[in-house]
Structure 1
Amino acid sequence: RYRCGAEHQTTPDHQKNGGGGMSSWIKPTVLQVYSFSMSMPLIAFVLNYIIYDERIFKDIKVWLISFPLVFILGFLSWSGHVAIGNAIRKRYPGLEQSKLRIMLLVFAIIPFMSLSIVLIFLLYNQVGVLGYQLAESDLKAGLLVGFSVNLIFETLFEADYALGKYKESVEEKNRIGELAVQQEFDTLKSQVNPHFLFNCFNTLSSLITEDRQKAESFLNELSKVYRYLLRNNEDGVSTVENEIKFIQSYYQLLRTRHGEAVQLNIEIDKRYNPYLLPSLTLQLLVENVVKHNSLSKNYPVVIDIFTTAGNKLVVNNNLRHRVVKIKGTRVGLDNIRAKYKLLNKEGFQAMSDERNFTVILPLIWSSAVENKTLNTNKIKPQ
C-alpha cells in the first residue's frame, strides 16, 4: 500500500504565526520559516512511511522521487497557509480580536488543509507515483496527521503572535505613561520661569523708583541669572554642584535689592556634588524665604544650606514674620513636592516652628535617576 498525506500537514502549521507584524501579509515570519525547516524532514519521512510502508527502507526510488515531491508539495501548501493565516492576522490584529481571529483561522485553515491532503492523494493516485493506488485508509490517516500537525503548529504560532502583541501593548502603555509623566513635569517646569520673572520684575520696578543705579545693576545680574536658569530648567534634574552655583548667582540679585537684610550661608560636603535634585529647587525655596519674611538690615533673614548624613540637603531660615502676611500661591513648595513625587523619591519634608522654617531635600544618586521615567534626555514627546 502506498499512502500520501503528511507532506501537506507540515506546511499549514508553519504559516500560522504572524502576518500582523509583517510588512507584507504574504511574507512568513521567522518562526514560520524556522518551524517549516525543522519539521518538514521528519514529516516527509512519516508521510513516505505511511505511503510506502517498509518499502521506504528498501527502494532508493522513494528517496529520490517521492521525498523531493513531498517537499515541493509541502512547500506549496505551506505557502498557502502562510498567506491565509497572515492575511487574517493583518485584518484582525488586536488582542481583543483574538477570538474572532482564531475562529477565522479554524474555518479557513482546516478546509485548506483538507483540500491540500485530498489533492495530494489524487495526484499520487492519478499519476501513480511509484505505483501508488488510493486507499480510503490512507486518506483518513493523511487527514488525521494533517489535522494534528496543524493543531500543534497553529497553536504555537497564535501563542507567539499573541505574546508579541501583548509585549507591544505593554511597551505602548509604558510609553504613554512616560509621556504623561514628562508632560506633567514640563508643566511644573513651566510654572517656575514665569513665577521667577514676575517677582524679579516687581523688584526691578521698585528699584527704578528708589535707586536707578541699583536697578541697572539688578537688571545686569538678572540677565545673567535668567540665562543660567533657562539652561538648567531644560532638564528635570540638576546636580547639587550646579544648583549651588546657581543659587550663589541668584543671591547676588537679592543682595542688589535687599543688601545685608538677606544673608546666605552654604556648607556642602563635596562628595554630594554629583548627586541630583529637581532643577531650580534651591531658587524656589530662597525666593519663598524672601517673599514671606520681613527683611531688615538690623534683623536679617539668614538662610543656611548644608548637607547631612543620609544623602540630604537642608535649607533652613530663621523666621521674621511680616506684620501683613502675603497670601502665597504655594507654587514653590507644591512644585518641589510634585517633582519628587514624579521622581518616585520619598523624603521631602517642610517643617516650621516659632523660630525657623526648614526644608529637607533628599538627594538622588545619578545612576538611579537614569532609570527613572523622568529622565528628560530619554523621554521626549514625539
Structure 2
Amino acid sequence: MLKIKEIYLRWFGILVVALIVNFFIKQHEHAQMPIWQQVLISFTFTAILWNGVLFIMLRMRKRYTSIQKTPRRLIVTSVLASLLLVFGSNLIGMVLGLCSLDDLKNPAYFFRYAHVNFIVAIIVTSIYEGAYFFGKWKDSLIQNEELKSQQIRTQYGVLQNQMSPHFLFNSLNTLTTLITEDQNTAIDFTQTLSDVYRYILHNKERELVPLCEEMEFCQSYVFLLKKRFPENFEVSFNIPKTKRHLYIAPLTLQMLLENAIKHNAITKGSPLRVEVKVDENNLLEIRNNLQTKHSLEISTKTGLENIKKRYQLLGQRAINVVKTEKDFIVQVPLIELISEVEHLKSAV
C-alpha cells in the first residue's frame, strides 16, 4: 500500500517540477514550440532524471546500511546524482534532437542548466531523505517498544520459573536441611538466594549487562543449584579477563543453565557437566553433556526462542544451537559497545 502511494506522489511531483522547469526554460529556448510540446519535453527530462536519482539513492542505501556510514552515503549519493543530472540531461537533449554533439563541446552550453539541475536535485533528495529518516526513526521507536515488551515477558517468565512451587520446595527443603546440619552454610545460602533475586529485579529494565556481572550472578545461581545437586552438577567458567568487558542480554546465561538442568537427567552415575567459555569470535559457548530426560518439566516458554528474539531485536548475530550425540551446545554473540568518543572519532 505504501509503495502505491509513493508511486502516485512521485509522478505527481514529476509533473509539478516539469511545469516549474518549463516556466524557466521557455524564456530562453524552444519558445517557438507549442506549449504542450514544451511541457512534454520538460516532463520527459524530469521523469528520467527523477527516477534515475531515486535509483541511485536506493542503491546507496543497500550499499551503506549502517548508521555510521550515513555521511559517506549522502556524499556519494550527491556526487552521483549531480553527475547524472548534468550528463544525463545533455544526453537526453541530444537523443531528442534538441542539441548536437558540437553544441555540447561548448562548456557554457553544456552547463547551461546546472542551476536548475541543482534545484531539482535538492527537491528530490530532500523529499526522499526526509521520508527515509522519518521511517528509520519510526522503526527504531517500534523496535524499542518491542524490546521493552520482550524484556518484560522475559523477566516475568524467569521470576515465574523461580517462584514456582517446585523451585520454592527445593530451596526451602535445602535451607531446612542446612539449618539443621550447618547454620553458617544456611546463612550463606539465604544471602545468595537474596542476591539472585536482587540481580533479577535490578536488571529487569536493562537491555545489556557486562559479561562480568552476568558471570558473577550465575556463580551465585550455581551455588544454589549445587546445594540442590551437591555431587551431580558441575559448572566451569573459562572466560579470560580480556573478554569480560563485553556485553550480553541480562539473564541469558542463567536461562541456558536452567534449560540444561530442565532437559537433562542428573544422577550420581551420570552427573551433568556444563562448560562456559568464549571463543576467538567473541561467541559465548555453553556446552553440556547430553543425557535427555524421558519426562520433561512443564516449560515456561522462556528458553532459546526467547533469547533468539531478544538478540534479533538488538540487531545482533543469530544464536547458534548445535546438538551432537554427546553434547548440546549454544553459542551466544557477545556485544562490544562503542563509547560516544570512539563513535565520533570513527565518524570523522
* TM-score category, normalised to shorter length: 0.5 to 0.7
Query: Is 1:336 matched up with 2:301?
Result: no
Structure 2 partner of 1:194:
160
SS in 2 for 1:235: coil
Take 1:356 and 1:168, find their aligned partners in 2: how far apart are those partners?
46
In structure 1, what is the Cα distance between the partners aligned to 2:152 and 2:247?
A: 20
Matched, 1:225 2:196: yes
User: CA, structure 1 residues 160+267, in 2 after alignment: closer, same or farther (shift >3 Å)?
Assistant: closer
Larger radius of gyration: 1
Q: Give the conservation status (yes or no) of the 8 Å contact 2:151–2:204.
A: no
* Deviation of the 1:173 alpha carbon: 2.0
**SS of structure 1 residue aligned to 2:270:** coil
Instruction: Report the alpha carbon displacement of residue 301 of structure 1 after superposing the two structures with TM.
Output: 0.6
Task: Look up the match of 1:10.
Answer: none
**Equivalent residue of 1:266, what SS?**
strand
The aligned runs of 1:278-317 (5 Å cut-off) are 278-317=249-288
**Number of equivalenced pairs:** 215
Q: Does 1:173 find its partner at 2:138?
A: yes
Task: Say if 1:323 and 1:218 are closer, same or farther in 2 by CA, change over 3 A.
Answer: farther
Percent same amino acid among aligned pairs?
26
2:331 aligned with 1:366, yes or no? no
AA partner of residue 194 (structure 1): Q
Q: Is the 8 A contact 1:260 1:300 kept in 2?
A: yes
| Corresponding residue for residue 204 of structure 1 | 171
Which amino acid counterpart does residue 336 of structure 1 have in structure 2?
I
Cα-to-partner distance string for 1:45-91 (whole Å, 9 max, x where unaligned): xxxxxxxxxxxxxxxxxxxxxxxxxxxxxxxxxxxxxxxxxxxxxxx
Paired with 2:126 and 2:261, the residues of 1 have a C-alpha distance of: 61
Give the TM-score, by structure 2 length: 0.53
Name stretches of at least 5 consecutive residues in structure 1 with no aligned partner. 1-154, 372-382
**CA distance in 2: counterparts of 1:369 and 1:195, whole angstroms:** 38
Please name the residue that 2:211 is paired with: 240
Q: 1:162 to 1:185 in 2, by over 3 A?
A: same
Contact 2:247 2:337 (8 Å CA) reproduced: yes
2 CA distance for matches of 1:237 and 1:347? 16
Higher relative contact order (CA 8 A, sep 6+): 1
For the aligned residue pairs, the C-alpha RMSD in angstroms reads: 3.5
Q: 1:262 aligns with which of 233, 237, 241?
A: 233
Structure 2 unmatched ranges of 5 or more: 1-119, 343-348
Comparing 308-317 with 222-231, which one deviates more in the overlay? 222-231
Q: Which moved more, 1:190-199 or 1:283-292?
A: 190-199
Residue correspondence of structure 1 range 142-181 to structure 2 within 5 A: 166=131, 169-170=134-135, 173-174=138-139, 176-181=141-146
The answer to whether the 8 A contact 2:147-2:310 is kept is: no
Distance 1:268 1:172, change over 3 A: closer
SS at match of 1:313: strand
User: What TM-score do you get using the length of structure 1 for normalisation?
Assistant: 0.49
